[in-house]
Structure 1
């Protein structure tokens, strides 16, 4: 099963893309709903590199959700000014969801705005409907945090 959510930000696509590529952004937009703790490697990279990162996830900082592998790849579809289009893929897997394929798409729109899309494919056996419901809530939360960041010119990331 999959979900797809799209929103627009008052920010330039290259700036949004720069932030998408940072582990700091993941920690900010997921909080306080989900907390990620790095396991392997034991510290977060400033910028996601291609490869795999093993994390431990908790709900509301206390309820264990198990381990999750974040497996990152990036693609620049277009870097033509005004028509920028970028994609980041986390082809992850975890204890609750053996398939957690999350694609982030960042596209420039008129008026120096950015269209941001989260598309998530989840396979978790019999738990799939429950995990998809959680994912829908989680990604709505993330996009709300994103909009807040963009409205405030990403100040919270600069202060962290």
Structure 2
């Protein structure tokens, strides 16, 4: 049974800046640090900027506990009123993990919204509850990163 979750936050950075960092795969592991880690399998590296395509990853809870494989399916659907990145993914646990990220200008900042549709069979409800925690955590890390003027991520990109 499919379930859809939608969580939104305000980021005190302009849309183009948020979009620029969102397009950096290093951001993915930064915003989930402490909770998860994604390790690329095929190809065995992430591109410097996301491009459309499928990326196979291993997922680790708390950076060390293997929890399965996932396909990260990057797409850029055309929308007229906001910018969208789609991860039309699937994996060993969730057969459907269709994640949309919406960016919209709001005041001097950006409205950032995660919307994910999940189908994991009998595990859909517990995975949905986990997704609520996961995306709430990611958005908290996004806000912290913006408040630090992206310095922690900039340091990672330089190394």
TM-score range, shorter chain: over 0.9
**CA displacement 1:37-84 (0-9 Å, x = unmatched):** 000000111111100000000100222110000000114535xxxxx7
2:139 corresponds to 1:143:
yes
Count of aligned pairs between the two proteins: 154
Candidates 96, 100, 104, aligned match of 1:103 = 100
Query: Hey, what's the Cα distance between the residues in 1 that align with 2:77 and 2:59?
Result: 26
The match for 1:81 is none
The match for 2:154 is 158
Alignment root-mean-square deviation, CA: 1.1
Segments of 4+ in structure 1 off by > 3 A?
A: 75-78
Query: Hey, what's the Cα distance between the residues in 1 that align with 2:37 and 2:58?
Result: 8
- How far off its partner does 1:3 sit? 0.7
Query: Hey, what's the Cα distance between the residues in 2 that align with 1:92 and 1:99?
Result: 6
The match for 1:124 is 120
Q: Give the alignment's TM-score, normalised by structure 1.
A: 0.93
Structure 2 residues without counterparts, runs of 5 or longer:
none
Alignment map for 1:22-37 (pairs within 5 Å): 22-37=24-39
2:43 corresponds to 1:47:
no
Structure 1 residues without counterparts, runs of 5 or longer:
79-83
Secondary structure of the corresponding residue to residue 94 of structure 2: coil
